[in-house]
């Protein structure tokens, strides 16, 4: 750290003793950092770490009820973080510092054309610079900005709903950059995007940042995203900085045990731990399953089979039809064609005539998977109602390694991981032969993901359960499935053992997925060298 006068004159961003207080205590303990021009600082943390609150505090966008203290300076222009006055922020927000939000599906206004959304920022900047705003100069500038994010000029006339997620995030970036900010804060900029588009968007961000000499503050839960992209790294946990330093150093030789735990929890695609299963008779066979939604073919003659005690992954990006396949098998959607056979019996399409002991689903979102008005106890008792066994609610909770005392709580009083455990317990209540996991760990923090996957593997071993695991995450596939099928636009493009698919993908689409996953993996190219000096534990 240099002296304070030097810091004040420094180019780039200097943040001093930023802290955020909530109604029931501090959310972020005082922290300071500097980000030089053209440099990238990453703040890493799981949910509740205070990383997003920190980002919002810098742009005065905290939710009501939270208060920030401390100060920041951008290129020597110092401003306090404590003020709630809108006008005070007008000088900073959208000019010097811009916040890029996570979800490109909601951060753009759906009823305004993309060009106009970028134009709004352009116009504001031109006004601030006292330049005359004319229709033609605005149009030219918007097209220049679109070109910068590698989008064709005709995107200006489109509505956000006509664009893919990746394109929308590019539009959002163009709108952010049109303000020519000195500090760009990207809060989980690619978390909502498919793996194959994530890399492109992140690389683009890096390029633009270098070209504009911007300071970039990258907020993420994913160490893979920041490896090779951030110069410096801050790891936060429960509002406190647990570790900071050069990214290469932190990844190679983490000092704090929490950082180490995060690194270990990161599911790698390269070390497949699941051995192929010895051949056993098939439990589930789904053949030629097709489903259309209006004019869109969601699923085109897809087939999959699962043997007893086996975990098979269904891999694909959003819109690939992987969830539709799961829902058709479960009877939650009625397919137009195809047969579903379980244990030698043909199952009817739809839920009518199905038995709860045949198969159960564990859904993705731990927040809506349990009935909010029921206690855990009540939810599980309902699940046991038709099962008719000797199993009690306590047994179920024990099975998923939860304290039976949690039974009296409502879902809102549990963490995401705990809720997902309850959801697994509920699914196991009727003693199903097949468990379908539809992105069951995608919404969880990495360290919790690992625990849930371990639980599922343990349950598979103990109960000889067959599982169909729907996921977009090849890291998850590598760590749980022995076989996988890859879906692209409703068609199965590749099938084989996990090792085969991850190490020697045949189809170009599978190849691109594996490449994207490897690129984002901290065990991938950029951190490979660093990893070799990682001390053994």
Partner 1 sequence: MSGTPKLSPRTRTISIVPGRRRVRWGATLSVVLLAGVGLVALVSPMLSDAATRQSVLDALLPPGSPGHPLGTDELGRDVLMLTLAGTGSAVVGPVIVAAGSMTLAVLLGTIAGYVGGFVDGVIGRGVDVLLALPVMLVALVVAGVFGAGYWVTVVLLIVLFCPSDIRIVRAGVTEQAPRPYVEAAQMLSLSSSRIMFRYVVPNTWPLILTNVTLNVGIALVALSSLSFLGVGVAPGTPDWGRQISDGRGVMGDNAAMLIVPAVLIILVTMAINVLGDHLGTRLRERGIQ
Residues that bind partner 1 (CB under 8 A): 21-25, 27, 63-67, 330, 332, 351, 354-356, 359-361, 363-365, 368-373, 382-383, 385-386, 410-412, 423, 426-427, 429-430
Neighbouring-strand partners of residue 284: 306, 342
**Cβ atoms of 532 and 233 closer than 8 Å:** no
**Cβ of residue 262: shortest distance to partner 1, in angstroms?**
22
Helix (H, G, I), strand (E, B) or coil at 205: helix
**Cβ of residue 62: shortest distance to partner 1, in angstroms?**
10
Cα distance between residue 141 and residue 122, in whole Å: 7
Q: Which is nearer to partner 1, 289 or 370 (CB)?
A: 370
Q: Which is nearer to partner 1, 92 or 359 (CB)?
A: 359
**Cβ of residue 211: shortest distance to partner 1, in angstroms?**
36
**Cβ of residue 258: shortest distance to partner 1, in angstroms?**
21
Q: Which is nearer to partner 1, 185 or 329 (CB)?
A: 329
Name, in order, each residue with C-beta under 8 angstroms of 179's C-beta and a sequence gap of 6 or more: 94, 95, 98, 121, 124, 125
Cα distance between residue 12 and residue 213, in whole Å: 9
**Cβ of residue 57: shortest distance to partner 1, in angstroms?**
13
Q: Which is nearer to partner 1, 57 or 227 (CB)?
A: 57
Cα distance between residue 516 and residue 514, in whole Å: 5
**Cβ atoms of 232 and 42 closer than 8 Å:** yes
- Supply angle C-alpha 325, 327, 331, rounded to 5: 120
Q: Which is nearer to partner 1, 40 or 52 (CB)?
A: 52
CA nearest 33: which of 24, 48, 44? 44
Cα distance between residue 470 and residue 472, in whole Å: 7
Q: Which is nearer to partner 1, 123 or 421 (CB)?
A: 421
Q: Which is nearer to partner 1, 11 or 221 (CB)?
A: 221
Neighbouring-strand partners of residue 285: 305, 341
Cα distance between residue 70 and residue 16, in whole Å: 6
Q: Which is nearer to partner 1, 233 or 434 (CB)?
A: 434
Q: For tokens 């969830």, name the residue.
A: 323
Q: Which is nearer to partner 1, 263 or 383 (CB)?
A: 383
**Cβ of residue 67: shortest distance to partner 1, in angstroms?**
6
Neighbours of 34 (CB within 10 A): 18
Q: Which is nearer to partner 1, 68 or 151 (CB)?
A: 68
Name, in order, each residue with C-beta under 8 angstroms of 18's C-beta and a sequence gap of 6 or more: 28, 30, 31, 32, 54, 57, 58, 68, 69, 70, 72, 81
Cα distance between residue 480 and residue 306, in whole Å: 14
Name, in order, each residue with C-beta under 8 angstroms of 454's C-beta and a sequence gap of 6 or more: none
Neighbouring-strand partners of residue 18: 31
Q: Which is nearer to partner 1, 69 or 164 (CB)?
A: 69
**Cβ of residue 435: shortest distance to partner 1, in angstroms?**
11
Cα distance between residue 440 and residue 467, in whole Å: 12
**Cβ of residue 352: shortest distance to partner 1, in angstroms?**
10
Q: Which is nearer to partner 1, 96 or 419 (CB)?
A: 419
Cα separation values, 475 from 195, 316, 444, Å: 11, 13, 14
Q: Which is nearer to partner 1, 227 or 427 (CB)?
A: 427
Query: Can you read off the two tokens belonging to residue 17?
Result: 């003793």
Cα distance between residue 173 and residue 118, in whole Å: 9
CA nearest 196: which of 449, 474, 484? 474
Alpha helices in 392-522 (DSSP H): 393-399, 416-428, 446-463, 474-480, 498-503, 508-520
**Cβ of residue 302: shortest distance to partner 1, in angstroms?**
20
**Cβ atoms of 165 and 485 closer than 8 Å:** no
Q: Which is nearer to partner 1, 296 or 533 (CB)?
A: 296
**Cβ of residue 248: shortest distance to partner 1, in angstroms?**
33
Cα separation values, 292 from 439, 471, 488, Å: 22, 21, 15
């Amino acid at each position: 750290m240099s002296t304070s006068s030097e810091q004040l004159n420094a180019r780039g961003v200097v943040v001093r003793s930023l802290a955020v207080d909530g109604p029931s205590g501090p959310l972020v303990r005082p922290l300071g950092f500097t980000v030089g021009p053209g440099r990238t600082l990453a703040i890493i943390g799981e949910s509740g770490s205070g990383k997003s609150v920190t980002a919002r505090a810098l742009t005065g966008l905290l939710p009501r009820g939270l208060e920030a203290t401390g100060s920041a300076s951008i290129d020597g222009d110092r401003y306090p973080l404590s003020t709630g006055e809108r006008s005070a922020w007008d000088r900073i927000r959208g000019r010097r510092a811009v916040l890029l939000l996570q979800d490109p599906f909601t951060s753009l206004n759906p009823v305004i054309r993309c060009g106009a959304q970028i134009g709004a920022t352009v116009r504001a900047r031109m006004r601030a610079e006292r330049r005359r705003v004319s229709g033609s100069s605005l149009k030219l500038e918007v097209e220049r900005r679109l070109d910068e994010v590698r989008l064709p000029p005709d995107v200006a006339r489109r509505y956000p709903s006509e664009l893919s997620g990746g394109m929308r995030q590019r539009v959002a970036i163009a709108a952010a950059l049109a303000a020519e900010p000195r500090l760009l804060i990207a809060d989980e900029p690619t978390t909502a995007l498919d793996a194959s588009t994530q890399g492109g968007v992140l690389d683009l961000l890096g390029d633009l940042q270098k070209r504009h000499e911007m300071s970039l503050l990258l907020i993420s839960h994913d160490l893979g995203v920041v490896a090779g992209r951030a110069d410096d790294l801050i790891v936060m946990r429960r509002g406190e900085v647990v570790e900071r330093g050069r990214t290469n150093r932190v990844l190679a030789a983490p000092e704090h045990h929490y950082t180490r735990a995060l690194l270990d929890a990161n599911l790698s695609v390269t070390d497949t731990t699941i051995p192929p299963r010895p051949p056993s008779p098939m439990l589930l066979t789904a053949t030629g399953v097709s489903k259309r939604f209006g004019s869109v073919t969601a699923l085109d003659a897809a087939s999959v089979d699962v043997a007893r005690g086996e975990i098979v992954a269904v891999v694909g990006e959003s819109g690939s039809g992987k969830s539709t396949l799961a829902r058709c098998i479960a009877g939650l959607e009625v397919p137009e064609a195809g047969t579903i056979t379980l244990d030698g019996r043909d199952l009817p399409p739809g839920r009518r005539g199905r038995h709860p002991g045949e198969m159960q689903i564990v859904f993705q979102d731990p927040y809506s998977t349990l009935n909010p008005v029921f206690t855990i106890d009540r939810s599980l008792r309902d699940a046991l109602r038709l099962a008719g066994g000797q199993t009690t609610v306590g047994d179920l909770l024990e099975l998923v390694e939860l304290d039976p005392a949690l039974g009296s709580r409502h879902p809102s009083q549990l963490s995401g991981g705990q809720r997902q455990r309850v959801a697994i317990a509920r699914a196991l209540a009727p003693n199903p032969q097949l468990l379908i996991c539809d992105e069951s760990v995608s919404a969880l923090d990495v360290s919790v993901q690992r625990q849930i996957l371990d639980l599922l593997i343990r349950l598979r071993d103990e109960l000889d359960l067959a599982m169909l695991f729907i996921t977009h995450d090849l890291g998850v596939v590598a760590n749980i499935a022995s076989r996988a099928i890859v879906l692209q636009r409703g068609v199965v493009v590749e099938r084989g053992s996990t090792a085969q698919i991850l190490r020697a993908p045949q189809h170009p689409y599978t190849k691109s997925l594996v490449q994207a996953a490897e690129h984002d993996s901290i065990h991938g190219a950029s951190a490979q060298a660093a990893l070799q000096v990682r001390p053994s534990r």
